[in-house]
A and B are shown apart, each in its own frame.
Chain A
Amino acid sequence: MKKRSDEDIKEALGNLPSMEDRQSKDLLYQKVSSRVNKPKRKAAPWLFPGLATIAVLLVLAVFIPVFFSNNGMLTVEESADRTNENAESSTANEETTPSFDSPPSENGEENAEIKETEPSSEEKNLPSEKNDENQTQENASKLEEKQGEPDTELDSLVLSKDEDGYTTRSYPGKNGEVILPIPQKQEASFTPERYGLAERAVGELEYQVDETEGSAVVTFPDGFNVSGSAWASAIVESIRWDLENFNLDEIIVQTESGNPVSLGSYGEISEVPVIQQGEYIFQLYQYEDSPERLLAPISVDGSPTFQDALSMMKERGRGLYVSPAVPEHVQFNTVTADEGVVSINLQHESWAGEQQLLTMVEAILATAGQFGFEKVKFNGVNVSKFSTYDLEEPIDVPQGINPVAE
Chain B
Amino acid sequence: MRTFFDELYENYHHDLFQFLIYMVKDRSLAEDLVQDVYVRVMKSYDSFNGKSSEKTWLFSIARHVAIDYFRKQQRKRNRFMEFFDWTEKGEQIKDQNKIPEEIAVQNDEIQQVYQALDKCTVDQRSVLIFRFIQGLSIMETAEILSWSESKVKTTQHRAMKALKTILEEMEEGRGDREEA
Docked pose: A9 CA to B109 CA in angstroms? 10
Q: Does A155 contact B (CB under 8 A)?
A: yes
- Cβ contact within 8 Å between B121 and A151: yes
Q: Does B34 contact A (CB under 8 A)?
A: yes
Q: Which residues of A207-221 are within 8 A (CB) of B?
A: none
The secondary-structure label for the interface of chain A is loop
A33 closest partner in B (C-beta): B1
From B34, B43, B122, A36 is in contact (CB under 8 Å) with B43
Stretch at the interface among A11-19, A80-88, A130-138, A371-379: A11-19
Contacts of B164 in A (CB 8 A): 4, 9
Contacts of A113 in B (CB 8 A): none
Q: Does A204 contact B (CB under 8 A)?
A: no
Chain A's nearest CB lies how many Å from the CB of B56?
16
- Counting contact residues on chain B (CB < 8 A from A), the size range is 35 or more
Q: Which residues of B15-47 are within 8 A (CB) of A?
A: 17-18, 21-22, 27, 30-31, 34-35, 38-39, 42-43
A125-164 near B? 1/0 per residue, CB < 8 Å: 0000000000000000000000011111101100000000
Q: Does A124 contact B (CB under 8 A)?
A: no
- Cβ contact within 8 Å between B133 and A16: yes
Q: Which residues of A265-319 are within 8 A (CB) of B?
A: 291-292
Q: Does A329 contact B (CB under 8 A)?
A: no
Q: Does A6 contact B (CB under 8 A)?
A: yes
Stretch at the interface among A23-31, A44-52, A247-255, A335-343: A23-31
Q: Given A16-B133, A152-B123, A194-B150, is A406 in contact with B39 using a C-beta cutoff of 8 Å?
A: no
The secondary-structure label for the interface of chain B is helix
Contacts of A33 in B (CB 8 A): 1-2, 5, 42
Q: Does B136 contact A (CB under 8 A)?
A: no
Q: Does B54 contact A (CB under 8 A)?
A: no
A368-396 near B? 1/0 per residue, CB < 8 Å: 00000000000000000000000000000
Chain B's nearest CB lies how many Å from the CB of A74?
48
Contacts of B38 in A (CB 8 A): 28, 32
- Cβ contact within 8 Å between B113 and A292: no
Q: Given A35-B39, A149-B74, A150-B67, is A292 in contact with B128 using a C-beta cutoff of 8 Å?
A: no
- Cβ contact within 8 Å between A17 and B153: no
17 extra A-B contacts, CB within 8 A, seeds A16-B110, A25-B9? A1-B175, A4-B164, A6-B160, A13-B113, A16-B106, A17-B102, A18-B102, A19-B17, A21-B13, A23-B31, A32-B38, A153-B121, A155-B151, A194-B149, A291-B147, A292-B148, A405-B153
* Sample of 28 A–B contacts (CB below 8 Å): A1-B168, A9-B160, A9-B163, A13-B128, A16-B22, A16-B103, A16-B133, A17-B102, A18-B102, A19-B22, A19-B27, A22-B31, A28-B34, A29-B5, A33-B5, A36-B42, A148-B74, A148-B78, A151-B122, A153-B121, A153-B155, A153-B158, A155-B151, A194-B149, A291-B151, A405-B156, A405-B157, A406-B156
Chain A: residues with CB nearer than 8 A to chain B?
1-2, 4, 6, 9-10, 12-23, 25, 28-29, 31-33, 35-36, 148-153, 155-156, 194-195, 291-292, 403-406
